[in-house]
Structure 1
């Protein structure tokens, strides 16, 4: 079965900062990382697994660019926590954020491990 090891456990890892942390606000599914383009035009995006596997009639949430998520997190840190961060830091993100609820291509709700929730527009 695709995505599973011989032991039946998931073969996917938390290799990327957003792995296992992005959830679709429309259907509740997790997001999966993908790449668009090639060479210097290559960019990474995150897609709702439900929409990817079952189509638009099952979920309307669009693909979100990884850079947009990173920039949204930086704005949240700078505005809400008074930390002047200019570059996305995976370690800080993993340490502070429990999950991110993604609403279409427009908005994300960052849920901190403290329980605080902060909305940010892309």
Structure 2
């Protein structure tokens, strides 16, 4: 609980647990330029096929009409795909990552517990055919976006960039 409170304070997030099935990235997508959370916006159109969900730094326009942050927006579908791509990359190299995680263990019991959970999860993991919300919530604490591209993911509780 303390780790989550510190995370919310660091990124000025009102509530970390408001990510839901229909909005799993809420409070977890962080701007790589200014450190603020990204918020989901909907670009509406009279043509429903042109309607888009995007994510943009919440501090992009702090003053009306003036850009305060130069980071670009990122499409909602790109975030879903980024999770799948990173999951595949780890799965393909799981022995390498399992060894690195174990080396990072140290004396922190919570960290050791999370490493064992991750190790077991990746030993049993199979390829995804689509975004897996349960797996996402087990693994991802935050995603950092720089210039409209996914930069890195911090896995829950133990990996920090």
- State the TM bucket, normalised to the shorter chain: 0.7 to 0.9
- Give me the TM-score of the superposition, normalised by structure 2: 0.59
Summarize deviations over 1:69-98 as a string: whole Å, max 9, x none: 111111111111244112112222112101
Q: Structure 1 stretches (4+) deviating beyond 3 angstroms?
A: none
Counterpart position of 1:69: 79
Task: Flag the structure with higher helix content.
Answer: 2
Q: 1:1-122 counterparts in 2 under 5 A?
A: 13-15=18-20, 16-38=23-45, 39-54=48-63, 55-56=66-67, 58-82=68-92, 83-116=126-159
- Deviation for aligned residue 1:35: 1.1
Q: 1:86 to 1:53 in 2, by over 3 A?
A: farther
Question: Which structure 1 residue ranges, 5 or more long, are not aligned?
Answer: 1-9
What value does the CA root-mean-square deviation take over the aligned residues?
2.4
The structure whose Rg is larger is: 2
Question: Which structure 2 residue ranges, 5 or more long, are not aligned?
Answer: 1-13, 93-125
Query: Is 67-76 or 47-56 further displaced after alignment?
Result: 47-56
Equivalent pairs counted in the alignment come to 108
Is the Cα contact below 8 Å between 1:74 and 1:86 reproduced in 2? no
